[in-house]
């Protein structure tokens, strides 16, 4: 007999290609509730066919929090545990028993492993803790985009590394609504550090470098901006913007600030290595590469950069050692880089060049 009543809820729009896989992953739930926001494909028909409860409502003007709250309202009041799960996400097998063994009568929310990006072999590339598993009562979604759960009572968290959700996004889907919704979020609450950071980052994605810089400086000056990882990211994004404006001295200044802000993260060191490679400063690449490799702990945060934990550091070090005449270390590091990414033809060619230089010594 199940210990708790567990329901899954979602919002959907033209997700027909995901429905079968999604419904298979949630089959052990006591109820599945989906708010369709105006699909023109077979999403609604397929969800109903596989047993989901579906309602349809267009949200105008569009806001993610409004849609999610309407989908949450579909979940029966006597539900013990709610799982908010998008249709491009999949609950990994065994999830129910893990959840029931982790949760207790006092728990209101759970953190779990969220594999945001995976490679073609289903190996996680970007993983962090997410927390969209929660009690039925006292919760609502807030913010037009990058929405979060807010609670009207004190929250009691449990954490499970075993409970896992994989994310398989449709990269062809437009995210054009994000920028105006983020601008709306900041307009509604200009003191919210999280949304200010996201807005600055979005300006960076659009190549609006000066707006990115101005917005992220505002983020850094907010009293609520205290999370060092996110502050470090704002500083890195400011540096990236200055690099794109060909203002390299200012970029370096901001990367030094980022290192000082979060010296326990690899990311600012690697971004400094990338800048120094652009400037041809190979000694500095070696210096910052050594510092980056001293950091062994990959923080489980969405802010982590892929390039900090793949072959990038070793690739840059191999080039820096080669150009400074240290061929042995060039070969050593390119071998490590290739072991991480054996399909990279450029690094394979570099290794041949390094070996030829070694043989000519």
Please tell me whether residue 10 adopts helix, strand or coil conformation.
strand
CB 203 within 8 A of CB 171: no
Identify the helix (H) or strand (E) that includes residue 140.
Answer: strand 139-142
Please tell me whether residue 361 adopts helix, strand or coil conformation.
coil
Model pLDDT, residue 96:
97
Intervals of CATH 1.25.40.10 along the chain: 178-309
- CA distance from start to end of the chain: 73
Domain 178-309: CATH superfamily, name plus number: Tetratricopeptide repeat domain (1.25.40.10)
User: Measured between alpha carbons, how far is 255 from 61 in angstroms, rounded to an integer?
Assistant: 39
Low-confidence ranges of the chain (pLDDT < 50): none
Model pLDDT, residue 148:
96
Report the percent of the chain where pLDDT is more than 70: 99
Which tokens sit at 102? Answer: 């982790």
CATH number belonging to the domain at 6-167, selected among 2.40.30.70, 3.40.1260.10, 3.90.550.10, 3.20.20.60: 3.90.550.10
CB 29 within 8 A of CB 53: no
Model pLDDT, residue 361:
60
Model pLDDT, residue 302:
82
Q: What mean pLDDT, rounded, does the chain reach? A: 96
The angle subtended at Cα 295 by Cα 293 and Cα 299, nearest 5°, is 130
Intervals of CATH 3.90.550.10 along the chain: 6-167
User: Measured between alpha carbons, how far is 333 from 335 in angstroms, rounded to an integer?
Assistant: 5
pLDDT digits (tens, 9 = 90+) for 104-160: 999 999 999 999 999 888 998 889 999 999 999 999 999 999 999 999 999 999 999
Which tokens sit at 351? Answer: 């290794």
Q: How many CB atoms lie within 10 A of CB 102?
A: 17
Model pLDDT, residue 335:
97
Judged by phi (left if over 0) then psi (alpha if -120 to 50, else beta), residue 56 lies in beta
């Amino acid at each position: 007999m199940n210990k708790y009543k567990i329901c899954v809820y979602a919002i959907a729009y033209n997700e027909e290609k995901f429905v079968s896989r999604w419904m298979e992953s949630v089959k052990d739930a006591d109820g599945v509730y989906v708010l369709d926001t105006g699909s023109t494909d077979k999403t609604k028909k397929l969800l109903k066919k596989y047993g989901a409860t579906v309602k349809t409502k267009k949200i105008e003007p569009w806001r993610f929090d409004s849609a999610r709250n309407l989908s949450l309202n579909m979940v029966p009041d006597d539900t013990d545990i709610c799982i908010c799960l998008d249709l491009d996400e999949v609950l990994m097998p065994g999830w129910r028993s893990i959840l029931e063994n982790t949760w207790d009568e006092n728990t209101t929310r759970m953190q779990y492993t969220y594999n945001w990006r995976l490679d073609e072999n289903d190996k996680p590339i970007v993983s962090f803790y997410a927390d969209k598993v929660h009690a039925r009562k006292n919760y609502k979604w807030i913010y037009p985009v990058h929405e979060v759960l807010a609670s009207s009572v004190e929250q009691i968290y449990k954490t499970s590394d075993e409970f896992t959700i994989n994310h398989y996004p449709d990269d062809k889907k437009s995210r054009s609504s994000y920028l105006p919704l983020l601008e709306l979020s900041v307009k509604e609450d200009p003191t919210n550090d999280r949304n200010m950071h996201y807005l600055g980052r979005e300006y960076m994605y659009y190549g609006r470098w000066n707006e990115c810089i101005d917005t992220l400086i505002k983020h850094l000056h907010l009293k609520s901006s205290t999370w060092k990882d996110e502050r470090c990211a704002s500083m890195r994004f400011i540096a990236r913007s200055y690099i794109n404006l060909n203002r390299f001295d200012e970029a370096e200044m901001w990367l030094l600030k980022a290192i000082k802000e979060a010296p326990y993260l690899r990311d600012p060191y690697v971004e400094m290595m990338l800048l120094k490679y652009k400037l041809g400063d190979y000694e500095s690449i070696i210096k910052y590469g050594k510092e980056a490799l001293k950091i062994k702990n990959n923080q489980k945060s969405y802010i982590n950069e892929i390039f900090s934990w793949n072959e990038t550091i070793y690739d840059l070090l191999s080039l820096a050692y080669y150009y400074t005449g240290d061929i042995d270390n060039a070969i050593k590091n390119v071998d490590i880089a290739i072991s991480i990414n054996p399909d990279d033809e450029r690094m394979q060619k570099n290794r041949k060049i390094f070996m030829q230089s070694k043989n000519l010594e």
